[in-house]
Amino acid sequence: MTNIETIGTTALDTVVDLDKKTNGSKRRDFFAKRFTAQEKHPQSFISLGASTGDKIVGFVCCHMLQGEFGSDKLIAVLDAMSVEPESQGHGVGHELMTRLMTEIRSRGGREIQTQAGWKQPEVLDFFASTGFSMAPRLIVERSTPDYSDPTRDEYEDLSHDDVLVRSLLPDDLEQVVRIDRKITGHPRRNFFTRKFEEVLYESGVRMSLIAEIDGMVVGFMMARVDFGEFGRTASEAVIDTLGVDTAFRSRHVGHALLAQLLGNLASLQVDSVRSEVEWNNLDILGFLDRCGFAPSQRLALSCNLA
């Protein structure tokens, strides 16, 4: 009989070892940060373990978000799941997913989002069998610049002398909420309060930026560099929140923010940067296209729980 229950820091070693069996590498830092954040914000994370007897044979981890990638609804993002090879094919994964869906609904979530590589047919088959389908979102990415290559694209060389770009600070919260409200029409203070805590204190590397013109905050870009999300072990940055004051959109603020981010990432030898955008958000897609982004080889998946 399989028993499913909430897991946390006490299961760290077991989860890391089990994950390595199925994914081929250790992601200890990723799971350690995840369980620490879960202890601090239990309503924002769900981690479940499936055990037979006293042995954990599978687990799933997701986090609850509201406002990520421009969405205003409460969603769950599933970014880690594993079942030990000896227990695969016995329904453990489906039991974990069923329990996860129940827990997400109880918290008010109505959708699960995840990603998978298009060359992972067994993973795609599993998600299809549990109710997932292609999501109306595009994952786009680009490599970071190689400044030793004289043939690199010229995007990073664009001058933005009138835009000062600096690291995001805790005191920037009010200005970020102000800009976002002008864009979306409503305040998202709770979302940004939690997002500031994540990007300033919980992510692997702090990469979030603020843009100023004449001493006024006119834009922001929140990014993180983590290792392990969706099974990725290569160094990759994620841009998930971007905003430019509507009164300054002709001043190339977004380009200045991204150019600075790319330079910072290149100096840290981070290989690439990605983002996830609704398929019909043509303004953002057009901006990212002009900045050298292209469709990723990963697919965005979702499951409606309504």
Distance (Å, rounded) from C-alpha 144 to C-alpha 273?
7
Phi, psi of 149 (to 5 degrees): -100, 110
Q: What pLDDT sits at residue 245? A: 96
Q: Of the given ranges (62-71, 81-90, 207-216, 284-293), which has the lowest mean pLDDT?
A: 62-71
Beta bridge partners of 54: none
Please report which confidence band the pLDDT of residue 78 belongs to, taking 50, 70 and 90 as the band edges. very high
Task: With H, G, I as helix, E, B as strand and everything else as coil, classify residue 1.
Answer: coil
Closest CA to 70 of 279, 211, 257: 279
Q: Please report where in the chains the tokens 């914000």 appear, as a residue.
A: 41
Range 2-109: architecture per CATH: 3-Layer(aba) Sandwich (3.40)
| pLDDT for 175 beyond 70 | yes
Task: With H, G, I as helix, E, B as strand and everything else as coil, classify residue 133.
Answer: strand
Average pLDDT, the chain: 87
Distance (Å, rounded) from C-alpha 170 to C-alpha 74?
24
Digit-coded pLDDT (tens) for 181-227: 998 888 888 888 888 887 887 665 668 999 999 999 999 998 887 65
Q: Please report where in the chains the tokens 């001493």 appear, as a residue.
A: 215
155 in Cβ contact with 294 (< 8 Å) = no
Looking at per-residue confidence, does 232 or 12 come out higher? 12
The one-letter amino acid code at 199 reads V
Looking at per-residue confidence, does 68 or 108 come out higher? 108
**CATH number for the segment(s) 145-270:** 3.40.630.30
Residue 88 CB-density burial (10 A; 0-12 exposed, 13-18 middle, 19+ buried): middle
Domain range summary for the chain, segments of one domain joined by +: 2-109, 145-270
* Helix (H), strand (E) at residue 194: helix 189-197
- In the chain the first and final C-alpha atoms are separated, in Å, by 29
User: Which of the given ranges, 127-136, 236-245, 281-290, has the highest pLDDT on average?
Assistant: 127-136
Q: Do domains 2-109 and 145-270 have the same CATH topology?
A: yes
Q: What pLDDT sits at residue 49? A: 97
Phi, psi of 51 (to 5 degrees): -130, 150
Q: What pLDDT sits at residue 131? A: 96
Digit-coded pLDDT (tens) for 106-153: 999 989 999 999 998 999 999 999 999 999 999 999 998 876 665 555
